[in-house]
């Protein structure tokens, strides 16, 4: 028991483990994530519905979205952005790791007679011969990736964009980082059964990596027939560090905002959004 508790409370190196499939590909947890995606009044898996409407209106206006504009949404979830963008007659592709979310998005598109290409795949593995006018990655997905994974994504973005095509994504700021604290918690069926339909004991350890500006929420889940650990990493950025990631990969940064709805940037914001163009 002591050795198990030692493993539960151990601190890994930043981004040492990658367990996205436990969240997005597991049959039970992916259904839970879809449920939270569809809660219209909260900011959990997706933004609240009022924000999404405001965000899409701004994206359409700012990027002059029109019929034929080619857009890719990396981490599209159940199509909350893709469906709205497709109503402008844009040519939209959505990529997501969750089969449940993709199937929901496909059904929604079919009911609305929207022509949207959906791809069920980990976007780290996604390849295409298409070239896009705009790539979006929303809900701070970029922060969940290690430095090497972010480099892979920026390489893909640069290859997939048309000349002068743009990337829009959001990220957490150091203002949000300083609000996080280390801690540990425990519960039976932790998070109201989020992790399994069966009885389990859940442990959550939050680790703060001050030098790297990384937060880890580590979940250890013990069921009668299996024990697993899920690592939820988040990288936090300064405006300068986020810009540098893009300029190092051949992008020119247009501007920073406080969110993907075009709110002017503030140093007091917990998030920021960047627009970068392929050079």
The whole-number pLDDT of residue 43 equals 58
Kind and range of the H or E element at 123? Answer: none
3-class secondary structure, 178: coil
The whole-number pLDDT of residue 37 equals 76
The whole-number pLDDT of residue 173 equals 98
27-172+237-278: in CATH 3.50.50.60: no
Listed residue (168, 167, 75, 70) closest to 121, CA to CA: 75
The whole-number pLDDT of residue 138 equals 96
Q: What number of other Cβ atoms are within 10 A of residue 40's Cβ?
A: 12
Token reading at 92? 């939209």
Cβ atoms 110, 143 nearer than 8 A: no
Q: How do the pLDDT tens digits run along the chain, 279 residues long?
A: 899 999 999 999 999 999 999 888 888 999 998 887 787 665 555 678 899 999 999 999 999 999 999 999 999 999 999 999 999 999 999 999 999 999 999 999 999 999 999 999 999 999 999 999 999 999 999 999 999 999 999 999 999 999 999 999 999 999 999 999 999 999 999 999 999 999 999 999 999 999 999 999 999 999 999 999 999 999 999 999 999 999 999 999 999 999 999 999 999 999 999 999 998
Give the bridge partners for 74, in sequence order. Answer: 95
The whole-number pLDDT of residue 41 equals 64
Cβ atoms 126, 149 nearer than 8 A: no
């Amino acid at each position: 028991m002591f050795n198990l508790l030692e493993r539960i409370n151990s601190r890994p190196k930043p981004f040492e483990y990658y367990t996205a499939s436990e969240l997005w590909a597991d049959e039970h947890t992916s259904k839970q994530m879809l449920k939270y995606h569809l809660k219209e009044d909260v900011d959990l898996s997706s933004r609240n519905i009022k924000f999404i409407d405001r965000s899409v209106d701004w994206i359409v206006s700012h990027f002059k979205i029109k019929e034929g504009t080619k857009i890719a949404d990396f981490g599209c979830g159940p199509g909350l952005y893709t469906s709205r963008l497709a109503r402008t007659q844009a040519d939209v592709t959505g990529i997501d790791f969750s089969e449940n979310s993709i199937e929901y998005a496909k059904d929604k598109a079919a009911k609305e007679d929207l022509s949207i290409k959906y791809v069920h795949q980990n976007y780290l593995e996604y390849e295409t011969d298409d070239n896009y006018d705009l790539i979006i990655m929303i809900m701070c997905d970029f922060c969940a990736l290690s430095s090497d994974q972010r480099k892979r994504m920026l390489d893909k973005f640069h290859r997939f964009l048309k000349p002068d095509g743009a990337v829009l994504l959001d990220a957490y700021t150091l203002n949000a980082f300083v609000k996080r604290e280390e801690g540990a918690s425990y519960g039976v069926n932790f998070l109201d059964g989020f992790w399994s339909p069966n009885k389990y004991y859940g442990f959550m350890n939050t680790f703060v990596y001050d030098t790297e500006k990384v937060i880890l929420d580590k979940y250890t889940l013990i069921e009668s027939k299996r024990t697993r650990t899920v690592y939820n990493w988040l990288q936090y950025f300064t405006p300068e560090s986020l810009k540098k990631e893009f300029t190092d990969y051949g992008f020119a940064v247009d501007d920073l905002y406080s969110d993907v709805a075009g709110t002017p940037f503030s140093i007091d914001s917990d998030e920021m959004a960047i627009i970068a163009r392929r050079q």
